[in-house]
Amino acid sequence: MPVPISQAWTVATYVVRQKLKGRKRYPLVLMLEPLFRCNLACAGCGKIQYPGHVLKMQLTPEECFRAVEECGTPTVAVPGGEPLLHPQIGEIVEGLVARRKYVYLCTNALLLKQKIHLFKPSKYLTFSVHLDGQRENHDFSVCLEGGYDKAVEGIKEALARGFRVTTNTTLFDGADPNSVRKFFDEMMELGIEGMMLSPGYSYEKAPDQHHFLGRARTRRLFRAILSNRKKSWQFNMAPLFLEFLMGKRDYRCTPGGTPTYNVVGWQKPCSLLQDGSAATYAELLESTEWEHYGTESGNPKCANCMVHSGYEASAVNDTFGSLRALWATARATFSHEYKDPEALELLKEPVQPVHAFAPLVQIEEPVAQETRP
């Protein structure tokens, strides 16, 4: 199982309760961004480009707890910026855990070893470590040589202390599927609980404006990566969302599925797109014109998005929408390798890795086995 049964049960019963109440729009994961400041300057990130006085702002623990209670989700992701830069992050996480929220602390792990004493191992707390692939890919993507090694050092320390650890990986155009598959092996060998992955959102303010995956290429890339899976690989994500990325399913975006609270309030409509803010969660629900968001809305800012923040909520909603989808989820969780000979062919295609130093990867021809007469 990629997540503990108690967590799966909590989320499942929460979703079923929302459905029984007839709520068409319900939040699944709160994205709680306690600050925008970061200690990395990643090429594909458009979340941290703000004036200094905004970067200095941070949510108080009380503001965090109020947002969590307003929203009511069973799961809270704490990204940023880099949350470990927040001077009260230990107190914030402790308060969320005390409220029995499943917390995913999304960190680049550069400070994890140094700050791990602020946290206590708990089934409610997971460090979700940002790693965009193997060493060279990750370092180039986050514009920091040595970033991968530091993150892995943090992961090992957290695992040794009994914490739950996952990775989260964002892929851009030029990602080498063979390298990503090797990266999965490396991570599972480290002993992490599972992996998360997503195509990058095309942030208008990100430094790199040339390597955001379009939908067609996203589906091909994820089909190559996620087909013919190894049994050792575990994914800490909704299985049907991964099938969506592979092109096996089609979903409409659920922009309210992962509401976002940060230093300017409740961000409209999601964590990726900034189209204003609301003072309360109730105001966010009432004042956002939800039909203006999602690929099918025709909004150009949503046109190419296949990111988990909008589509994983759709996949989870689907899971509990029919016995067929529930069965598909169970099958994907326990037994599905996604055997696909065509996807194996995709792995042989040459790639132009742009978030890595090497200018071009040449795929070697398989060496013919020596035969004896």
Partner 1 sequence: MSGREAGREADPQTLEVVPGAPRDHIEGWIPELASEEELRAALEQAFSYRGDVLITRKDGSTVEGYVFDRRTGRSLGDSHVRVMAKDGSGKVSVSYAEIAGLAFTGRDMAAGRSWENWVRQYRERRAAGEKNISLQPEEIE
79-118 core/surface letters (b: 16 or more CB in 10 A; e: else): bbbbbbbbebbbbbbbbbbeeebbbbbbbbbbbbeebbee
- Residues numbered 46-85 forming contacts with partner 1, rule: CB under 8 A: 46, 48-57
Site for partner 1 contains 289 (CB under 8 A): no
What is the Cα–Cα distance from 320 to 7, expressed in whole angstroms?
16
Using CB under 8 A, which of 19, 215, 249, 336 touches partner 1?
215
Site for partner 1 contains 361 (CB under 8 A): no
Choose the binding region for partner 1 from 41-49, 70-78, 95-103, 333-341 (rule: CB under 8 A). Answer: 41-49
Q: Which is nearer to partner 1, 122 or 277 (CB)?
A: 277
Residues 6+ apart with CB under 8 A from 74: 10, 11, 14, 101, 102
Q: Which is nearer to partner 1, 127 or 212 (CB)?
A: 212
Choose the binding region for partner 1 from 70-78, 137-145, 336-344, 361-369 (rule: CB under 8 A). Answer: 137-145
For residue 50, count other CB atoms closer than 10 A to its CB: 16
Q: Which is nearer to partner 1, 206 or 332 (CB)?
A: 206
Q: Which is nearer to partner 1, 145 or 185 (CB)?
A: 145
Site for partner 1 contains 133 (CB under 8 A): no
Using CB under 8 A, which of 72, 121, 214, 321 touches partner 1?
214
Residues 6+ apart with CB under 8 A from 364: none
Within a 13 Å sphere around the CA of 79, how many CA atoms are in the beta-carbon half? 16
Site for partner 1 contains 357 (CB under 8 A): yes
- Nearest approach, Cβ of 303 to partner 1 (angstroms)? 4
Site for partner 1 contains 132 (CB under 8 A): no
Structure tokens at 265: 């309030």
Structure tokens at 178: 């063979």
Site for partner 1 contains 211 (CB under 8 A): yes
Looking at the DSSP bridge assignments, the partners of residue 104 are 77, 126
Amino acid identity at 275: D
User: If binding means CB under 8 A, how many residues of this protein chain bind partner 1?
Assistant: 47
Site for partner 1 contains 134 (CB under 8 A): no
What is the Cα–Cα distance from 287 to 267, expressed in whole angstroms?
11
What is the Cα–Cα distance from 173 to 87, expressed in whole angstroms?
36
Site for partner 1 contains 304 (CB under 8 A): yes
Using CB under 8 A, which of 65, 127, 163, 212 touches partner 1?
212
Tell me, residue by residue from 145 to 184, as one string, x for binding to partner 1 by CB under 8 A and - for no binding: xxx-------------------------x-----------
Q: Which is nearer to partner 1, 54 or 346 (CB)?
A: 54
What is the Cα–Cα distance from 127 to 121, expressed in whole angstroms?
10
Site for partner 1 contains 297 (CB under 8 A): no
Complete DSSP assignment for 224-258: HHHSS--TT--BSS-HHHHHHHTTS------GGGS
Q: Which is nearer to partner 1, 49 or 122 (CB)?
A: 49
Complete DSSP assignment for 344-355: HHHTTS-B--SS
What is the Cα–Cα distance from 338 to 351, expressed in whole angstroms?
23
Nearest Cα residue to 198 out of 304, 121, 124: 304
Tell me, residue by residue from 187 to 206, as one string, x for binding to partner 1 by CB under 8 A and - for no binding: ---------------x-xx-
Site for partner 1 contains 216 (CB under 8 A): yes
Using CB under 8 A, which of 40, 111, 118, 325 touches partner 1?
40
- Residues numbered 19-38 forming contacts with partner 1, rule: CB under 8 A: 37-38
Question: Which residues of this protein are in contact with partner 1, per CB under 8 A?
Answer: 37-41, 43, 46, 48-57, 140, 143-147, 173, 202, 204-205, 207-217, 264-265, 276-277, 295, 300, 303-304, 357
